[in-house]
Amino acid sequence: MSSIAAIKQRFGLVGKSAVYDRALNTAIRVAATDLTVLITGESGVGKEIFSQIIHALSTRKHNKFIAVNCGAIPQGTINSELFGHEKGAFTGATADRKGYFETVDGGTIFLDEISEMPLDTQSYLLRVLESGEYIRVGSSTTQKTDVRVIAASNVDLMKAIQQGKFREDLYYRLNTVPIHIPSLKERIEDIPILIRRFAVDFAEAYHTDSIHLDEQSKTLLMKYPWPGNIRELKNLVEQLSVLSEDKVIDVDTIIGIAPHITKTNLPALTKGKDSLQEREILYKLLFDMKGDLHDLKQLVFELIRGNNLRMPDTISFNAFDKQMANDDVIAPEPWKSPSIPEISGSASHNDRQPIILDEKKYDRTEVVDDHLALEDMEKEMIRKSLKRHGGRRKEAAIELGISERTLYRKIKQYDI
């Protein structure tokens, strides 16, 4: 059996991540069989190259291989494309035509975007997988074929089944051996290697010097989620190779050519007027939280004094008062409650004894996690502002100090 390193070299694959190697190892092991394979993964991860590897390492390698994009064939002609048709079967059928399952007999057919296949075609494909039989469009004669099927999908087929868009029996027939190809965000350690490979390939193809990325640029690209995966990364490297004047690429060069690379859900990290306004939201929220903490301290203080509780030796009212006075947040008006009597400021704190709590009454404690993600803080601030203004975005935007357009974008982003 071929080793993973040899297969990578043969097919030009780049990567050292364990998840990628596991997927490749599965493809190598299943190649020697005739089992149906279902390859899953996001768009641009290289599902077709895996199907070619399986075919090239199989006993069918000397026979035909064809890749069919099910989403690119019109629904009215896909049955004819796959299974052929008889002359006169429909308007425009001026002659008999062989389908892919007939022309690739003995070989391998790769059905990409299998989720886009119409339901009636799915039933015909299921029959091929189960018995190797199919019927041309407009014919009544059953024909046989010996084709290995490799299917691929970039969507969750189980969800498609629940929505009634994909046959459950076909799914289990295709999913004999599943292979999941990881996305770039699942193998970020491979990003610098891929960048170097694409840069060298471009330089060799156009007889120019290869670009190089400094460490900050590599870090920036490794933090980007890469929704287009390898295809998007290759396009960016080629853009940098063509458009950058300097062969040593820095962060400013990348942002200038591809500003979307800095896109993030943390608005304080981006540049521009809107991002500065968004940052103000977080500052306001942080100050409000600290103000709430200040109020809580005063509440505890009043509860202790109003209920004549005793303080432990390690805590004094003087130290507590000093902490309150030195708080770096502007103190709100003192909290007052008619249910708790006020204690005269002339009372001596030194006369008080340590607090002794009844263990039977206070036998439960709750650990509160004070960590709050910036996204959650921003979302809560927007929700509170909208509630105060009865859902009127314009007034809420003015209060938050951001543009109405930015507020609208945030509402959509956080599904408020």
Q: What's the pLDDT tens digit per position in 63-99? A: 999 999 999 999 889 999 999 999 888 888 889 999 9
Q: Average the pLDDT over 93-114 and give the result.
A: 94
Q: How confident is the model at residue 401 (pLDDT cuts 50, 70, 90)?
A: confident
The structure tokens listed for 303 are 């509860």
Q: Which regions of 37-93 does DSSP assign to beta strands (E)?
A: 37-40, 65-69
Query: Which pLDDT value is given to residue 130?
Result: 95
Mean pLDDT of the chain: 82
296 close to 337: Cβ distance less than 8 angstroms: no
Q: Average the pLDDT over 304-319 and give the result.
A: 59
**136 pLDDT above the threshold of 70:** yes
Please report where in the chains the tokens 């008080």 appear, as a residue.
352
Sequence-separated contacts (24+) of 241-248 with Cβ below 8 Å: 241/199, 241/202, 241/203, 241/206, 241/208, 241/210, 241/211, 244/211, 247/209, 247/210, 247/211, 247/212, 248/211, 248/212, 248/213, 248/214
Length of the chain: 416
Higher-pLDDT residue of 290, 142: 142
Query: Which pLDDT value is given to residue 375?
Result: 73
**212 pLDDT above the threshold of 60:** yes
**276 pLDDT above the threshold of 60:** no
User: Residue 112 forms beta bridges with which residues?
Assistant: 69
Return d(Cα 171, Cα 114) in angstroms, integer: 10
**22 pLDDT above the threshold of 80:** yes
**271 pLDDT above the threshold of 50:** no
Return d(Cα 288, Cα 380) in angstroms, integer: 12
Query: Which pLDDT value is given to residue 376?
Result: 77
User: Residue 150 forms beta bridges with which residues?
Assistant: 37, 110
144 close to 132: Cβ distance less than 8 angstroms: yes
pLDDT tens, position by position, 342-369? 444 444 444 445 444 444 444 444 444 4
107-111, 190-194, 273-277: the lowest-pLDDT one: 273-277
Query: Which pLDDT value is given to residue 269?
Result: 44
Share of residues in the chain with pLDDT > 90 (%): 57
46 close to 181: Cβ distance less than 8 angstroms: yes
Q: Please tell me the CATH code under which domain 186-262 is placed.
A: 1.10.8.60
Query: What DSSP element (H or E) covers 177?
Result: strand 177-180
* Strand duo 108-112 + 212-213: pairing: unpaired
User: Residue 110 forms beta bridges with which residues?
Assistant: 67, 150
pTM given for the model: 0.62
**142 pLDDT above the threshold of 50:** yes
342 close to 307: Cβ distance less than 8 angstroms: no
Return d(Cα 133, Cα 82) in angstroms, integer: 13
The structure tokens listed for 27 are 């493809």
Query: Which pLDDT value is given to residue 267?
Result: 44
pLDDT tens, position by position, 10-21? 999 999 999 999
Sheet of 108-112: strands edge to edge?
65-69, 108-112, 148-153, 37-40, 177-180
Q: Average the pLDDT over 227-251 and give the result.
A: 94
6 close to 23: Cβ distance less than 8 angstroms: no
Higher-pLDDT residue of 394, 111: 111
- The residues, any chain, with a CB within 8 Å of residue 14's CB and separated by 6 or more, are 8, 190, 193, 194, 197
- The residues, any chain, with a CB within 8 Å of residue 323's CB and separated by 6 or more, are 297
Residue type present at position 344: S
78 close to 190: Cβ distance less than 8 angstroms: no
Angle formed at CA 159 by CA 179 and CA 113, multiple of 5 degrees: 50
User: CA-CA distances (angstroms) from residue 155 to 30, 126, 249, 333?
Assistant: 23, 20, 35, 56
Return d(Cα 197, Cα 230) in angstroms, integer: 12
**254 pLDDT above the threshold of 60:** yes
Share of residues in the chain with pLDDT > 70 (%): 78
The structure tokens listed for 244 are 């950058």
Higher-pLDDT residue of 324, 305: 305
Query: Of 368, 293, 289, which is closest to residue 335 (Cα–Cα)?
Result: 293
Query: Which pLDDT value is given to residue 236?
Result: 96
Q: Average the pLDDT over 183-209 and give the result.
A: 95
Return d(Cα 230, Cα 233) in angstroms, integer: 5
- The residues, any chain, with a CB within 8 Å of residue 81's CB and separated by 6 or more, are 68, 73, 99, 100
Query: Which pLDDT value is given to residue 128?
Result: 96
Protein fold of 4-182: Rossmann fold (3.40.50)
Higher-pLDDT residue of 172, 382: 172
112 close to 163: Cβ distance less than 8 angstroms: no
152 close to 113: Cβ distance less than 8 angstroms: yes
User: CA-CA distances (angstroms) from residue 217 to 156, 192, 237, 257, 268?
Assistant: 33, 10, 12, 13, 19
The residue extents of the domains of the chain are 4-182, 186-262, 273-360+368-410
151 close to 159: Cβ distance less than 8 angstroms: no
The domains spanning 4-182 and 186-262 adopt the same CATH topology: no
